[in-house]
Chain A
Amino acid sequence: MSTTTAGRTPTARAAAVEQARVVGLAVKWEVLAICALLAFGLVAIPILEMFGAQVEGEPLTALNPADLGYVAMMLALLTPLGVWRGESRFGESPLWTLPVDHARHARMKVAAGWLWLMTVVTVGLLAICGMVLMVEDGTLGLDVTRTLVLDPAGAAAGQADAVRNVVWSTPWWQWLIPFTAGTATYLVATALWVGAKRPLWWVGGIWICYLVFSVVAEEAGVAWITATFEAAYATLDTLFTGGTDSLRMGIRPPNEQWTRMWTAMPGAGRWVAMTGGWIAVGLVAAWGATKRHREA
């Protein structure tokens, strides 16, 4: 070894590619299990109905991509556990003994995990699309008529002009929801996993705070707390479904049962703003979390 080669660090590309490989090995069995499940679904077509649209009155054989946001979220929540398997995040881990800047190395690992997550989401989405297309009358995306509430009081009173029927087709951006929901969730979960020594304590603490504030808001009638939670929920619902739940309200016209009607149709602008916000929060949090491992 010459003096010019001694102390040479690997190129960023070499380290990043190797992290992608290592993370791939770390999550190999989970990825294979998901692939097996999807393959099973492709073979056992009747299982398709599980993926049918959940909105009342809308066809079960049509794939609504907005329904896959929560699936991606669940997957993304667990992904950091697999990505960091075998590494002692705050202890003496082989990762930290390698000749790469610690924070940079952590970011490479996070990016590698995201790549694998997106790969799985892509494969999953394609497989589910395949299942839908294999079913008789199966269609990709919704093409339905939805009832839009113009005046909630009027709709409850049974006034015909208080509601309007709208023809709704799944817009292109809703096909991105599994990816964006997965990305935002992965970043936030990663921030907790990489930045906190006891992430479950944080999750538990946030949950307890939420419960306490909910009870206080309900018992004491503190409107601003309720409004804050509703607004937060609306951003999450938009992130995970495009707004399927938060844009609907229960209406009970005279002599009819409760039914959920749309207050507005999901829109790209709202989705971009809220999803962009959550991804930005996730990016900042994940960046900050990796900075905890900085050298100096």
Chain B
Amino acid sequence: MNATTTAGLPVDLGSGPFAVTTGGLVKRYGSVTALDHLDLQIPDGAVYVLVGPNGAGKSTLIRLLMDLVRRDAGSVDVLGVDPRLRGAEARALVGYVPEGHDLGYPWMSVGRLLDHYRRYHPTWDDAYASRLAATYDLDPTRKCRQLSKGQRRRVQLLVALAPRPPLLLLDEPTDGLDHVVRDATLTVLSEHLTDSPTTVLISTHRVYEVERLVDHIGMLSGGRLLGQLPRDELQGKLRRYSADVPEGWKATPDFAGRVIRRADRSREIDWTVWGEQDRVVDDFARAGATVREVSPLSMDDAATALLSRKDVS
């Protein structure tokens, strides 16, 4: 449970059970390493958000879990199945919303497209699919080519949810949705999680959109996992400290590697620090600073702070 990355963040979520794990996962595109020895752990039943900047490797990871691309090294386990060896079974366990909005068959009507997916998924829930179509205001007679980006995303979400799979892989699921539909989508997802025991992996760089659903977070940058931890631990240990300091104050070595973000003024500092709050406050006191205020960060702020950390290596 104490394993950490070089950034000082935890990466080991314990002994599981896990719905998805990867071990030393490597994926290269030519000379570019998209994923660099990734050890991902998604607890069974968790809603795990994977955050990272564009090009961090989030979509590549999801494609590897679906066996849409081939890994160069490492292992992958999706609900007990290695997608590379049993790709069809792995995909049958997954509801997938891809990064792109392409539905593939522009000449098909929405109704025919849904029927197409229904035939491939023995667990397809017709009543649920109809309810989702009504919620998303999808006209089954419209051709796919006539749909807007947001409408295509709604179709993709419906296709992912209707079989009630035990695992959802959602790659930027709210991309292309307006505020109203995005809220409706998150409500649908929330209800879905209540009705169906599902593990969810959401890849996004807009954590604030899905924050209310999420209970675990992983941070990916440059193909490497900076950390993965429960939401409570993140919000409990990563806090913003405002403190008064004497003129010319310098931090003690106690803070080495734990300061995520800093804003210094002449007699006032505003730092985001990783660690148990009591210990951090004591460290400030020992260093001669007086902590005035400690405030928690939203997940979005926390993720942004961690991903923009300069000394992350």
Chain A positions within 8 Å of B, measured between CB atoms, are 1, 5-10, 14-15, 17-18, 21-22, 25-26, 28, 85-88, 92-102, 295-296
Contacts and interface: CB of A to CB of B under 8 A. Distances in A.
A94 B112 contact: no
A99 B92 contact: yes
B119 A14 contact: yes
Nearest to B78: A7
A295 B123 contact: no
A100 B92 CA distance: 8
Interface in B84-143: 84-89, 91-93, 96, 98, 100, 102-108, 112, 116-117, 119-123, 125
B116 A295 contact: no
Contacts of B176: none
Interface of B: 63, 66-68, 79, 81, 83-89, 91-93, 96, 98, 100, 102-108, 112, 116-117, 119-123, 125, 163-166, 196
Contacts of A296: 84-85, 87
29 contacts: A1-B123, A5-B123, A6-B166, A7-B89, A7-B92, A7-B93, A9-B89, A14-B119, A14-B120, A15-B120, A17-B119, A21-B116, A22-B105, A25-B108, A26-B105, A28-B107, A85-B107, A86-B104, A86-B105, A86-B106, A88-B102, A92-B63, A98-B120, A99-B88, A100-B120, A295-B84, A295-B86, A295-B87, A296-B87
A84 B91 CA distance: 21
Contacts of B89: 7, 9, 99
A9 B119 CA distance: 10
A129 B41 CA distance: 66
A87 B108 CA distance: 13
A60 B104 CA distance: 47
A94 B85 contact: no
Contacts of B121: 10, 99
Task: Classify the secondary structure of B's interface with A.
Answer: loop
A8 B84 contact: no
Given A6-B123, A10-B122, A22-B105, A97 B96 contact: yes
Given A92-B98, A295-B85, A97 B91 contact: yes
Given A1-B164, A92-B98, A26 B123 contact: no
B93 A6 contact: yes
Contact of B122 (A8, A87, A102, A295): A8
Contacts of A295: 67, 83-88
Contact of A94 (B84, B87, B104): B104
A102 B105 contact: no
A151 B117 CA distance: 66
A9 B90 CA distance: 9
Given A7-B89, A101-B87, A92 B100 contact: yes
Of B79, B106, B122, most buried by chain A (CB within 10 Å of CB) is B122
